[in-house]
Structure formats: C-alpha cells, structure tokens
C-alpha cells in the first residue's frame, strides 16, 4: 500500500462511492450485493447499481455503490474506492478514481498504475484463494467474498453484519456457510496482518433505515401484482422486464397455492412473443381474470396493434414497461425514459392511454396493485412505466403497507342478479355519464348480457355499425372516460419551496437526483419547487402547479423531452414556460448535472429580472 503523496487522501464517514469492476459471469454479483446489504444493515442509506453488458460472460461489468448517510442515493459520478478485479478494464477503472481516492486490486499479478494521487491497496486475492481452497471452480467466487472481507476491515464494517448475511443467504445450503466465512476472513486477516487500516473512508452504524427496505422495482411490482389480485401473467423474456414476471411467479408460487389441492391459484405463461403475450392478457381480462404482461420498449412497439384493440373494445389490462435505452434494440442494459410518448399514444387512430409512473420500488408495489383496480374501473389498458435503473437495481424505500380493509374494485361488472333486473343491457351504454359502461363476463347468465366484443366500430349494444355519427359518439365517450380517468389516477407529489421559485417537473427514477439537486441548489440560494408527476392523464393539480410557475424545468432521461411534449400537447401549455432538461446517455442522471443546467439558466434569469427592475 503506497500512500498518497501529491494530495490528501479522501476522508469521510458514511459518504462515498465504491465501484467494483468485475468480469461478466464470474459470480461477483452476490459478493457485491453482500457489501451493499451490509451498508443497509448498518442503517446507512445505500444505492447499488449494476452496470452490465448485453452479454453473458467474459466482458467487463461494474457494480457501483453509493453510500450516503444523508440519503442522497442518485448516481453521483466519480469513484472514491475502486475494487478493480478485471484487468480488461483497469485503465478506465483507475481513471475514474477521484484524486485522493483508493484503488484495491488483485496483486497476485502486480501492476503499476501511474497515478500518484491515489492510494493503491494491494491484496493477492487469487493467490490467497489458491492456497486456501482446493476446488478450482469455487476459487473465483471466494475471491470475491475475500475482497468483501478485506473491505470490512479497511472500512470498518461490522463483522457480525456480514456473518449474518452469509448465514441467511445459505440458510438452505448450510454447508456453504463455513467456506464463505473462511473466504471472508481470508480477506480480513490479510488486511489485519499486512496493511494499515482503516482507510480515510469508513462506515459507522447510523440507524437511518428503520422503516426502510432494500428491493428492486421489478420484484416490488411483481409482488404488487400478487397483492392486486392478478391471476394471470403472460410475458416474453426481455431485459430489463424479465425479473418482473419472475418476481410475480416467485411470490405467486409462495402465496397462491390452493390449500387442499396444492394447485395454483394463478397461471403464468411464457408466450412465444410480445404479440401473443398481450393477446393472452387481453383474453384473460375479457374473461374476468386480472391479467397482465411485462415488457420493455421493443415489446411496446410489437403490442401496438393489440393496445388499440383493448382501448377501443374497452378491455382492462395491466402492462408493465420497464424502459431501457432506445430506439430499436438500442441499449438493452442501460436506462432511459424514452417510451413516454410510445405508451401514452400507443397504436394507430385516436388513442390515449392511462400511464402510471412510479418513482421507487414502494411506488412500483403500490401502483402495480392499484393498476389492477384502475384497469377494471376504467376498462382500458393501464401502463405502469418504470425503467432499468429502478427495475433491476435494489433501492432503499419505505416498507410496503397493505390495508386489510381495502376491497378490490372490480369496476362496473354485472352479475346474474343484476342482469335479471335490467331491461335493456347495452355493453356500451354510458348509463352513469362518466364514459364508463357496464360489462359482463362470459358465462354469467343463460339468456342475458351476452355481447360481441370487437375492434371494429360498434354501437351502444356492441353491434357492428358503419354509421359515422354513432362511431364518432363512441370516440367522444372514450374521451369523456379519459377525463374521468384523470380523477382516479395518482396525483402528483408537490413540494413548494419558496416564493418566485422556478418549478421542476420530474417523474420516475430521476427522483433521488432531483431531490439532491434541490438541496444543492438551495445552498446556492436557488429555490426550486418540485412536482413529481405520477400519472397520465394529468390531473388538476398538475395544471395548477404549472399555472403557478413562469418557468419550469422538465427533467427527463430521453432526447426528445417526451413528457414536456405530452404536457404541451394535452394542456395547451406555452412552450417557453417548459424548459427541457434532458439526459440520454443511458446512465442515470446525476444531481450535479441538474444543478449545473438549472443554476446556469436561473442565474441568467435573475440577472435578467434584476436588469428589468433597474
């Protein structure tokens, strides 16, 4: 370990970024996650992000963990500690280390890194494992555990925390506990015996996370679907949505087994493609089950035709879109928010869809469950749109809550008794004048209530018609329904921080970065008011917030300012008011990026205003 000379080494407690550089397919994920979990267990807010190639084995992959006691958990930029385990990417990895930072590498093969301003920590991990473990297949895995052990001493992580994590993890394979602990101590002991410790960077128990959990958005949404009463899932594998369907299946297999029979109280079908996936979900919903599908961008494109059918024939449906980098196959393992327009206006003809935008796993859970009620209430597809960053990475969020008094809202469905009392059932009669009509499930009544569902133009009795006025009336009623929707969907979360402040609109996974930016800007005496949009169509609060601001930055992770477009198009909002603040590299946006963009323009704005006043 050579000490930094030209510059002070970084000193901090519970505030740093550590980045693990590994080889794809080398089994580093569980060790890295163990590190993140240890932070969480010590009560220190943590955000791990997996940066992986669209590839299975042999290419560079990174795991970036931000640890921040104040709870700033967006991507930060810069690396304080690099754990460089992949010679392929050494140069990039070392370059990223901030001056004064630390580099830990496997010194079985010694290197000179040519940076005088960092502290290099040499641990011959491979060699240690070769000596300690006989089975050559296990060695690479234990090498990863060993560096976690080393870090535990270097950063002062509580040993019991790691010990517990290992015991829990291998609760079903207890034979593995001992060798994992051995590997952990291999790293620990090497540091204890050979290196100065702790580093300038350390952790210390903070107990900030009492009501928090650590979970990925996809798993949360899958669980939400179980709680929301979904009994049918049809999906086609695609990164980054696959783990959502898998999450649903995992929880359904646990909590949805019939008592006496052992049979499944759900069905999950891996479809042959996305067209079939959505077709099946439509069929299930038409037939009275709560069904959903999960996909990502290319799937949305392929589902467009069916989405128009569900919209026009008014069939409930829940569709999760975990966004990745587009267009086309794009960047399958990177994050973007570039399907906003594709979802809101999916399909040809005049169509508009209800879209929910969760901003963390808690909202993924909540909105997922709620989406099934909304779909049944509104008899239309409900999109739940998250992204790779929130979907596949573990995020710290509030614990999930469920009110056992809450009853599912299955919407306007007539049962046999209802039908017996009705003279004149018409599937598309707007009886309540809210644009939402009454449906029946197949098989309800021997003589009444049957109707013919179709994507062709139809009258109020679901009969095919080519009468233009009748069809126009249907289309207009659908707009009425869309207005009704705006009263049912989740309202925005608004935070007003001062008089004359500029507004900032955001949604989804940019939330941590925006909140951090707010605090930084405040220090620079720039106050921003926040509105986190949580759904489309926009409800009154959204328009009110916009009306109350003369300049608003719309933060989003796409090139074309898609949410801004949607706001302008739907609300008739003057474009000068809405300023695009976009970031679309596929990496999560950082607070500093937002701060720069806003402060630049706000400073101009203020001098402009002051000039006017003078």
Ligand X SMILES: Cc1ncc(C[n+]2csc(CCOP(=O)(O)OP(=O)(O)O)c2C)c(N)n1
Shortest approach of a copy of itself to residue 296 CB, angstroms?
8
Q: Does 329 bind ligand X (CB under 6 A)?
A: yes
For residue 382, the cross-strand partners are: 318, 354
Q: What binding mask, one character per residue, do residues 246-285 give for ligand X by CB under 6 A, x or -?
A: ----------------------------x-----------
Is the Cβ–Cβ distance between 162 and 152 less than 8 Å? yes
Select the binding partner of residue 356 from a copy of itself, other proteins, ligand X, none (C-beta < 5 to 8 A, by kind): none
Nearer to ligand SF4 among residue 58 and residue 443 (C-beta): 58
Q: If binding means CB under 6 A, how many residues of this protein chain bind ligand SF4?
A: 2
| Contact with ligand X (CB under 6 A) among 238, 342, 343, 374 | 238
CB within 8 Å of 95: residues ≥ 6 apart: none
Dihedral (CA of 130, 133, 138, 140) sign? negative
Nearer to a copy of itself among residue 479 and residue 547 (C-beta): 479
**Tokens matching residue 55:** 């590839």
Q: Does 237 bind ligand X (CB under 6 A)?
A: yes
Nearer to ligand SF4 among residue 56 and residue 175 (C-beta): 56
Rounded to whole angstroms, how far apart are CA atoms 426 and 429? 5
Rounded to whole angstroms, how far apart are CA atoms 92 and 217? 30
Q: Does 318 bind other proteins (CB under 8 A)?
A: no
User: For residue 533, what is the DSSP state?
Assistant: -
Nearer to other proteins among residue 226 and residue 343 (C-beta): 226
Rounded to whole angstroms, how far apart are CA atoms 501 and 522? 11
Q: Does 56 bind ligand SF4 (CB under 6 A)?
A: yes
Q: Cis peptide before 198, with omega less than 30 degrees from 0?
A: yes
Q: Does 279 bind other proteins (CB under 8 A)?
A: yes
**Tokens matching residue 235:** 């999906």
Shortest approach of ligand SF4 to residue 337 CB, angstroms?
29
**Tokens matching residue 556:** 């989003």
Query: Side-chain half-sphere of 32: how many Cα atoms within 13 Å?
Result: 28
**Tokens matching residue 413:** 């469905």
Q: Does 596 bind ligand SF4 (CB under 6 A)?
A: no
Rounded to whole angstroms, how far apart are CA atoms 149 and 61? 21
Select the binding partner of residue 291 from other proteins, ligand X, ligand SF4, none (C-beta < 5 to 8 A, by kind): other proteins
Query: Interaction with a copy of itself in 298-357: which residues (CB under 8 A)?
Result: 298, 300-302, 304-305, 307-309, 311-313, 325-334, 336, 338-339, 341-342, 345, 347-352
Q: Does 421 bind a copy of itself (CB under 8 A)?
A: no
- Quick one: which segment of 226-234, 236-244, 284-292, 435-443 binds ligand X (CB under 6 A)? 236-244
CB within 8 Å of 588: residues ≥ 6 apart: 49, 74, 75, 335, 389, 509, 510, 513, 557
Select the binding partner of residue 282 from ligand SF4, other proteins, ligand X, none (C-beta < 5 to 8 A, by kind): other proteins
Nearer to a copy of itself among residue 91 and residue 607 (C-beta): 91
Q: Does 164 bind other proteins (CB under 8 A)?
A: no
Q: Does 57 bind ligand SF4 (CB under 6 A)?
A: yes
**Tokens matching residue 323:** 């966004």
The phi, psi pair for 289, rounded to 5°, reads -95, 155
Three-state SS at 506: strand
**Tokens matching residue 355:** 């879209």
Considering only CA atoms, give the Rg of the chain.
Answer: 27
Q: Does 468 bind other proteins (CB under 8 A)?
A: no
Q: Give the footprint of a copy of itself on this chain (CB under 8 A).
A: 53-54, 297-298, 300-302, 304-305, 307-309, 311-313, 325-334, 336, 338-339, 341-342, 345, 347-352, 454-457, 466, 468-469, 471-472, 475-476, 479, 558-560, 562, 565, 568-569, 571-576, 584-587
């Amino acid at each position: 370990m050579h000490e930094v000379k030209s510059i002070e080494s970084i000193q901090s407690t519970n505030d740093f970024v550590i980045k693990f550089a590994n080889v794809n397919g080398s089994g580093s994920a569980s060790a890295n996650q163990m590190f993140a979990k240890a932070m969480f267990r010590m009560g220190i807010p943590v955000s791990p992000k997996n940066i992986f190639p669209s590839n299975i084995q042999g290419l560079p992959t990174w795991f970036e963990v931000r640890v921040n006691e104040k709870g700033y958990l967006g991507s930060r930029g810069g690396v304080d500690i690099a754990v460089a385990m992949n010679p392929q990417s050494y140069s990039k990895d070392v370059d990223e280390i901030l001056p004064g930072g630390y580099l830990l590498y496997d010194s079985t093969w010694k290197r000179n890194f040519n940076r005088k301003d960092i502290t290099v920590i040499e641990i011959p991990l491979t060699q240690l494992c070769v000596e300690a473990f006989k089975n050559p297949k296990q060695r690479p895995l234990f090498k990863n555990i060993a560096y976690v052990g080393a870090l535990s001493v270097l950063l002062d992580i509580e040993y019991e925390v790691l010990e517990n994590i290992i015991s829990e993890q291998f609760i079903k394979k207890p034979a593995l506990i001992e060798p994992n602990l051995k590997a952990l101590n291999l790293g620990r002991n090497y540091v204890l015996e050979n290196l100065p410790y702790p580093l300038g960077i350390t952790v210390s128990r903070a107990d900030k996370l009492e009501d928090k959990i650590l979970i990925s958005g996809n798993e949360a949404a899958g669980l939400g679907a179980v709680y929301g009463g979904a009994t049918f899932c049809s999906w086609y594998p695609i990164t980054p949505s696959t783990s959502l369907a898998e999450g649903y299946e995992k929880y359904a297999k646990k909590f949805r087994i019939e008592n006496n029979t052992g049979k499944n109280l759900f069905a999950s079908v891996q479809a042959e493609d996305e067209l079939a996936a959505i077709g099946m979900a439509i069929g299930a919903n038409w037939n009275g089950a709560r069904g959903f599908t999960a996909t990502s961008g290319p799937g949305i494109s392929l589902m467009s035709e069916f989405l128009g059918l569900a919209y026009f024939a008014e069939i409930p449906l829940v569709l999760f879109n975990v966004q990745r980098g587009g267009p086309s196959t794009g960047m399958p393992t990177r994050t973007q928010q570039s399907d906003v327009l594709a979802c809101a206006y999916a399909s040809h003809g005049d169509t508009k869809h209800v879209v929910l935008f969760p901003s963390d796993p808690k909202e993924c859970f909540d909105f997922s469950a709620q989406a099934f009620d909304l779909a049944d209430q509104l008899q239309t597809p409900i999109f739940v749109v998250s992204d790779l960053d929130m979907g596949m990475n573990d995020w710290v969020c509030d614990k999930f809550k469920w009110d056992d008094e809450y009853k599912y809202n299955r919407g306007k469905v007539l049962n046999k008794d209802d039908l017996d009392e009705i003279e004149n059932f018409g599937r598309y009669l707007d009886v309540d004048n809210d644009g939402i009509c009454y449906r029946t499930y197949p098989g309800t009544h021997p003589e009444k209530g049957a109707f013919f569902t179709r994507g062709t133009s139809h009258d109020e009795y679901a009969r095919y018609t080519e009468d233009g006025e009748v069809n126009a009336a249907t289309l207009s009623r659908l707009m009425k329904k869309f207005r009704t929707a705006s009263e049912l969907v989740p309202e925005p979360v608004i935070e007003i921080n001062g008089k004359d402040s500029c507004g900032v609109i955001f949604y989804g996974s940019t939330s941590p970065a925006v909140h951090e930016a707010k605090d930084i800007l405040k220090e620079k005496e720039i106050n921003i008011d926040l509105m986190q949009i949580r759904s489309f169509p926009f409800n009154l609060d959204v328009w009110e917030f916009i009306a109350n601001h003369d300049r608003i930055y719309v933060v989003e992770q796409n090139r074309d300012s898609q949410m801004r477009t949607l706001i302008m198009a739907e609300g008739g909002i003057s474009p000068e008011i809405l300023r695009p603040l976009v970031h679309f590299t596929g990496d999560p946006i950082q607070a500093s990026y937002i701060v720069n963009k806003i402060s630049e323009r706000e400073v101009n704005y203020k001098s402009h205003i002051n000039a006017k006043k003078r």
